[in-house]
Amino acid sequence: MSLATLEALVRALGPRFGVLAESSTSQLTVVARNGDVAIGDLFLLPCRRGPDRVYVFRATEYANILNRTLEMSDVARNKLTMPDSYFAEDLSEEQLVELRGLVLGYAEYVSDRQGWSFNRPRRLPQHLTDVFRVDPDRSESGQVVFELLRTQLGDTGLVIGHLLAGERPLLAVPVRLPVAALSHHIGVFGRTGCGKSNLIMVLIDGVLEHNRAVHAGVTIGPRASVFAIDPHDEFRTWHAAVGGADGVRGIVRAYSDAERTDLVAPFYYLTARDGLEDPLEARVRLSRAEVTPDDLVSILDFSEQQIAFARQLFAEHGERWVGQLFSGAVGGDCEANTEYLPGTISAVERRLGFLTHGNTRLVSRFDPEMGFTYDSLLPDILCALERGRVLVVDTTLLGELEQFLLNTVVARSLFALRRALRLADSADRLRSEILVALGVDEANGRVGQRSLAQALVAHLDRGELPYLDGERVRTPDELPLVHILVEEAPSVLNPARMRFGSIFRDISRQGRKFGIGLGIVSQQVSEIDPGVLTQLNTQITMALGNADERREAVRTASSDIGGFAQELQVLDKGQLLLSSSLRDIALPAQVLDFDDLRGTNAR
């Protein structure tokens, strides 16, 4: 179907809804045969004033103004006092329908590009313009909307759902998240049960598909990686246990051996459980050697003294600082620590209690003299992320602090690595920058995170950390876009916690430069540090718990979503509003149901 002319568009739209009687940017009054309108309905107004244009209007409120001459009080009185009276049924009587909402903009045909280009509204449609309602039951209508909004929708990227017209999705209008959005920061806000997990499942699926297409040479551009903490262990098997779609496991099982080697190995699923089902699953483990005071500050409350003390300890002992603290070797008799009160020391020890042996399934002891050597999956995790992998991390057996610690350590280490990469101009320089980035400075007696650094350099030399192309150092653009999902974000991203700095604040400010994006998933907007909120490039707003949260969501969105305020109230399961600094307009969408997408009944 060619939709290059206004005539062709109008033909595809089917019968008109009505005629425009009056208009302003926020309100249309339409004389219509039928007042059947739903909140969120899209209306198209083809306009011939000047070049051919089609305005797109989205209704957020509507009112049927009853028959203009009808006196309701007369009717009521007659109905009451004249028992034999009736109310004749008119053929679709013309009504005045008042639609309040938003002119999203207008599309104009650009012959050079042979397509419609969408613009923010400047002029308004003419009086008596025909008004068409986009009917989700007519696929042609959807196609028209797709053509008109094409420049806003984009042709590439991860499909997350379909544009909503009223309460129904337009199946001809896919709503996509550009792959590049993954290396920027994304906020996902919605109350429990609104469909956040399903959305993430759909995104993960999209990323896997993308990587597969890049691998097959169908899509050009870097791969993408996702590090997804999964507190409910849902992404691996999704709804398989209850007859729904299998999760990442099912997707990976459908791969060829070669695809599994190139796109999944060494693992896609990390867990603190011991019994593993599949060679592509791994037992997640960090080492105490990888934990720095900065990580702990990001997830725990400390006083200034306590921080200073921890930093001092780390400066002195490097990767062995936690072991030192727990061994009791740090104390009053030790010269260097006289400035710290015993209270401070024991307070830090107490706070780190979740790392003591027997209290953690995540963090392994590190005490080479006692035979506890460096034992961690972190170097493999970092290498996997640098090769374009989706990693789902089951944290059901981990405490909340361990979960946050894992997230923090991975994010910080990756951030440090990418920074080192930026600074390096040769292979040798890269090796030394990795050491520097991890605080290792042998010449000055600083141990830093030596074990991790050595492990990473070894991976680099084996080619598992793909920073070198022969002797040439790769630039971050050649590496995958990495997205790190922070679930239950308010626990680590609230302003109080971030008082003394946070690794996530650094990433939120600078991550983009290094191709690392944060995905902030939260039930509330208001709990998140405003500094972090201002860094969000993409905001996905789902059903929120109350009016305050909706107001916050409107305030923080990068594009103006004020016109959608009414609708945020009535968002249903799986419905969202996608706003992005990369686009002019916010797009309401119905997210794909992953069960439909990949379930047994899938296409």
Partner 1 sequence: MKFDLHLRSAVRSRLAEVANEMSAWEGSAKLGDDAARRLRESVHFFEHTTTSEALQCAGVDGSGDFPALAYGDSFVYLTVAQGSVYTTDNVHGLREIDLGLPALFDAFWIPESEQRRSDTWNAAFARLCGMAVREVVSASDYKELKQAFSGRHTPIDQLVEQMIRPNASDSSNVAIQLRTTGELAMALRLLRRAPQEAGVRRILVFDSTLTLPLVTRRDVSLFYEHLKRLCCVEARQRGVVLVGLSKSHGLPGIGFIEDAVRDVAGTGATEAPEHWYLKIPSEEVEGWALPSTEGRRVPPAGAVTYLVRFHRNVPVLRVDLDAKYWDEHLRDEEQVRQLFQSLDYCAHDQRCYGYPYPVKAGHDRASLTESERVVLRKQLIDEAVRAGLKRSLFRDASQPTGH
Q: Which residues bind partner 1 (CB under 8 A)?
A: 21-22, 67-71, 74-75, 78-79, 82, 84-91, 94, 126-128
Contacts of 370 (CB under 8 A, 6+ apart): none
Which of residues 197 and 539 has its CB atom nearest to ligand ADP in the complex? 197
Smallest distance, ligand ADP to C-beta of residue 161, A:
7
Q: How many Cβ atoms sit within 10 Å of the Cβ of residue 83?
A: 6
The binder of 193, among ligand ADP, partner 1, none, by C-beta within 5 to 8 A per type, is ligand ADP
Q: CB within 8 A of 113, min separation 6: which ones?
A: none
* Closest CB to partner 1 among residues 91, 241: 91
3-state secondary structure 137-190: CCHHHHHHHHHHHHHHHCCCCEEEEEEEECCEEEEEEEEEECHHHHHCCEEEEC
In the complex, minimum distance from the CB of residue 581 to ligand ADP, in angstroms, rounded to a whole number: 24
Does position 380 interact with ligand ADP (CB under 6 A)? The reply is no
CB nearer partner 1, residue 29 or residue 376:
29
Whichever of 125 and 190 has its CB closer to ligand ADP, that residue is: 190
| Residue 197, binding choice from ligand ADP, partner 1, none, Cβ under 5 to 8 Å by partner class | ligand ADP
**Listed residue (148, 166, 132, 163) closest to 11, CA to CA:** 132
Site for ligand ADP (CB under 6 A): which residue of 190, 293, 517, 563? 190
Nearest to 356 by CA among 342, 369, 372, 343: 372
Q: How far is the CB of 194 from ligand ADP (least distance, A)?
A: 4
**How far apart, in whole angstroms, are the C-alpha atoms of residue 66 and residue 445?**
85
Question: Please, which residue, 12 or 194, has the CB nearer to ligand ADP?
Answer: 194
DSSP state, residue 367: B
Quote the tokens at residue 468: 């070198």
164 part of the interface to ligand ADP, by CB under 6 A: no
Q: Are 304 and 500 in contact (CB under 8 A)?
A: yes
Q: Is-cis flag, bond preceding 266, omega within 30?
A: yes
Choose between 128 and 334: whose C-beta lies nearer to partner 1: 128
Tell me the closest approach of the beta carbon of residue 33 to partner 1, in angstroms. 12
Q: How far is the CB of 201 from ligand ADP (least distance, A)?
A: 8
What distance lies between CA 98 and its chain's CA centroid? Answer: 36
The residue type found at 81 is T
Using CB under 6 A as the criterion, what x/- string covers residues 22-51 for binding ligand ADP? ------------------------------
Mask: binding to ligand ADP, 551-580, rule CB under 6 A, as x and -? ----------------------xx------
Residue corresponding to tokens 């995958």: 480
For tokens 């599994």, the residue is 260
Does residue number 197 form part of the binding site for ligand ADP (CB under 6 A)?
yes
Closest among 318, 330, 266 to 289, alpha carbons compared: 318
The closest of 320, 600, 301 to 449, measured between CA atoms, is 320
Q: Which of 192, 256, 338, 601 touches ligand ADP by CB under 6 A? A: 192
Residue 223 touching ligand ADP (CB under 6 A)? no
| Residue 162 touching ligand ADP (CB under 6 A) | no
User: Do the strands 538-541 and 281-283 form a parallel or antiparallel pair, or are they unpaired?
Assistant: unpaired
Site for ligand ADP (CB under 6 A): which residue of 229, 517, 591, 598? 591
Residues that bind ligand ADP (CB under 6 A): 190, 192-198, 573-574, 591, 593
